[in-house]
Structure 1
Amino acid sequence: MAPGNCTRVTGFIFWGITDSPKLQNILFVFFFAISFCTLVGNVWMIVLISVDSQHHSSMYFFLSNLSLFDVVSSPVIAPKVMLSSLVKSKDISFPGCVVQFFLFSFCGNNELCLLAVTAYDRFVAIYNPLLYNVIMSKRVCFQLVVGSSLCACVNATVHTCTEFNLSFGHSNVLNHFFCPCQEISCSDFRINKRVHFIFAAIETIGTILTILISYIYIIFAILRICSTAGRHKAFPTCASHPTVISILYGTLIFTYLRPSSGSSVDWEKMVAVFYTLVIPLLNPLIYSLRNKEVKGALRTTVYQKLVPQCM
């Protein structure tokens, strides 16, 4: 459509995930269960790290911030999806769409930055353990978290501006369950795509390089440990972090680097459900199940709460 025929819309309409009433009821229960478990799991991680004195190291400080942003990101998408499953009205206002997209982009970008910061923290802990507390002081940890949030905010702002500084004339219907609306614009968004790509590439390449370089040094440091017991003690220190990285980056690579002609819209929605709703649920589970200190603290907490009640 010619630019002169474009207009400013006041809202968008979601097609949602499915039109089947039975499936919509099932999806409502599914999304409610995921959102509830995500909230409980991440809040539990934050409280456990805050209360237990054994978890006041920088690694757990970064982990608690990661859980905090998972708590924030889940309500950004899930409530609207659940509401669309219950009622026929699937519309969202233009400002609401902007806010939803910004918050989701901010939390996602911040998670990438925090994973890179945590990789650097594990590198310092294993490669230079004697100076670990000096290098990763409380002030440095706070600066790293603030810096991650600032980078995420800049990236999210750029993404949001390039996404919504457009005109929509021929349609305001989105065949999705949240707000990627660039493809239905009637404006020429080639420049917007380039700006979006440049900022996304800078952050993605920067975080991936930080993670790869940190783990290369970590592997060499572990291989230099003479005793087998020392190696077995070092590996669990960073065992859960690569798992989270593999799931998140694997999903992003599968989503954005696969051929666009080889997948259906419904399949894209299922993948989007995974990285918007399921990954925030998996993070506390992975860190809990693959970290001996967290599991030990959980058993201690449960024992302290339940045993006095049974006596």
Structure 2
Amino acid sequence: MAWENQTFNSDFILVGIFNNSPTHIFLFSLVLGIFTVAVIGNTAMVLLICLDNQLHSPMYVLLSQLSLMDLMLICTTVPKMAFNYLSGRKSISLAGCGAQIFLYVSLLGAECFLLAAMAYDRYVAICHPLRYSILMSQKICGLMAASSWILGSLDGIIEAAVALSFSYCGAREIPHFFCDVPALLTLSCTNTLLFERMIFICCVIMLLFPVAVIIASYVYVIVAMRSTEARKKAFSTCSSHLSVVGLFYGAAIFIYMRPKSYRTANQDKVVSAFYTVFTPVLNPLIYSLRNSEVKGALKKLPTQCFPNITN
């Protein structure tokens, strides 16, 4: 790990995911469309929850944080990818690469812990409804959200600092459309085995621990529900969260928990595109279309924003 073999003026080359074929031009346009919908949808969710007093419960406070994380996540990767593709310039500076690593890793880690906090919230609401205001007070909810951001940021700082401390040589072409740590390490001139093991341990903590909390929460929900009808009602309440969990953790575990010998650059790019581009657009759609309170708040929004016009 030495800084002397590299400078802050040394750029990397992002190979990207699209070429100039008609099919890839169509896919690029599709990604831009999805990006636009994701930005609008997540921004609308954050503003809606902030403006509507009926959505200031812990569940929706956590949901607003999820939308904010998704908004930042998709803005971390897609704009740079789009700029490089449209301009024909594929370079990214060392500082820019470090910023992408920090934001990307921080947001993924924060979202992992936040989804676990949301599962705990649903467990308390279903299994301990009379104690909900105590077990999920505004203070506890705030601590959960803040802890998710802090733990994710710590992981992002560590991974960005260590990844950029290695020396890189050769063509410096990153086989990805953004600075993903595993893709970056393939260019290192030094031995990165210890760091790769550290990343694996971090993945176990950041992915498997929250998954264990989520599974435990829903197991308790199933046990608490004595009748089939009650279980159906409980899962109807939690189905939105389960959908998001399955999409997010499934793709993340596939990327970061596979043995290195089974990994290919093309697979990593496609799956990364799925949970950095498609998941952020699905979250607001899932929660808005399957949630009666959110749909009710959306109907009231024009009246709140433009009272004179609507009257």
Q: 1:308 to 1:233 in 2, by over 3 A?
A: farther
Q: 1:28 to 1:298 in 2, by over 3 A?
A: same
Partner of 2:234: 234
TM superposition shift of 1:79: 0.7
TM superposition shift of 1:131: 0.7
* Alpha-carbon distance in 2 for matches of 1:173, 1:14: 6
TM superposition shift of 1:31: 2.7
Partner of 1:121: 121
Partner of 1:60: 60
Q: Which amino acid in 2 is paired with 1:217?
A: Y
**TM-score, normalized by length of structure 1?**
0.89
* Alpha-carbon distance in 2 for matches of 1:306, 1:156: 41
SS in 1 for 2:207: helix
Match status 1:196 vs 2:194:
no
Partner of 1:294: 294
TM superposition shift of 1:60: 0.4
TM superposition shift of 1:197: 1.7
Q: Which amino acid in 1 is paired with 2:201?
A: I
Match status 1:211 vs 2:214:
yes
Which stretch shows the higher mean deviation, 295-304 or 193-202? 295-304
Partner of 2:278: 278
Q: 1:65 to 1:50 in 2, by over 3 A?
A: same
Identity of aligned residues (%): 36
Which stretch shows the higher mean deviation, 142-151 or 47-56? 47-56
**TM-score, normalized by length of structure 2?**
0.89
TM superposition shift of 1:68: 0.8
Q: Which amino acid in 1 is paired with 2:156?
A: A
Partner of 1:182: 185
Q: Which amino acid in 2 is paired with 1:212?
A: I
TM superposition shift of 1:258: 4.6
* Alpha-carbon distance in 1 for matches of 2:197, 2:165: 14
Check the 8 A contact 2:207/2:249 in 1, yes or no.
no
Q: Which amino acid in 2 is paired with 1:256?
A: Y
TM superposition shift of 1:108: 0.8
Match status 1:253 vs 2:256:
no
Q: Which amino acid in 1 is paired with 2:5?
A: T
Q: Which amino acid in 2 is paired with 1:112?
A: C
TM superposition shift of 1:210: 1.0
Q: 1:139 to 1:303 in 2, by over 3 A?
A: closer
Q: 1:306 to 1:234 in 2, by over 3 A?
A: farther
The size of the alignment, in residue pairs, is 305
TM superposition shift of 1:275: 1.3
TM superposition shift of 1:141: 0.8
Unaligned runs of 5+ in 1: none
Partner of 1:7: 5
* Alpha-carbon distance in 1 for matches of 2:110, 2:95: 22
* Alpha-carbon distance in 1 for matches of 2:296, 2:78: 32
TM superposition shift of 1:263: 6.3
* Alpha-carbon distance in 2 for matches of 1:45, 1:120: 21
Which stretch shows the higher mean deviation, 142-151 or 288-297? 288-297
TM superposition shift of 1:268: 2.7
TM superposition shift of 1:72: 1.1
Check the 8 A contact 1:25/1:86 in 2, yes or no.
no
Q: Please show how residues 120-199 of structure 1 align to structure 2 within 5 Å.
A: 120-180=120-180, 181-199=184-202
* Alpha-carbon distance in 1 for matches of 2:147, 2:282: 25
Q: 1:48 to 1:123 in 2, by over 3 A?
A: same
* Alpha-carbon distance in 1 for matches of 2:228, 2:30: 48
Q: CA RMSD in A?
A: 2.6
Check the 8 A contact 2:200/2:257 in 1, yes or no.
no
Q: Which amino acid in 2 is paired with 1:7?
A: N
SS in 1 for 2:92: strand
Once the two structures are superposed, residues 115-169 of structure 1 have per-residue CA deviations (whole angstroms, 9 ceiling, x without a partner) of 0000111111111100101111111111111111111111112221232221012
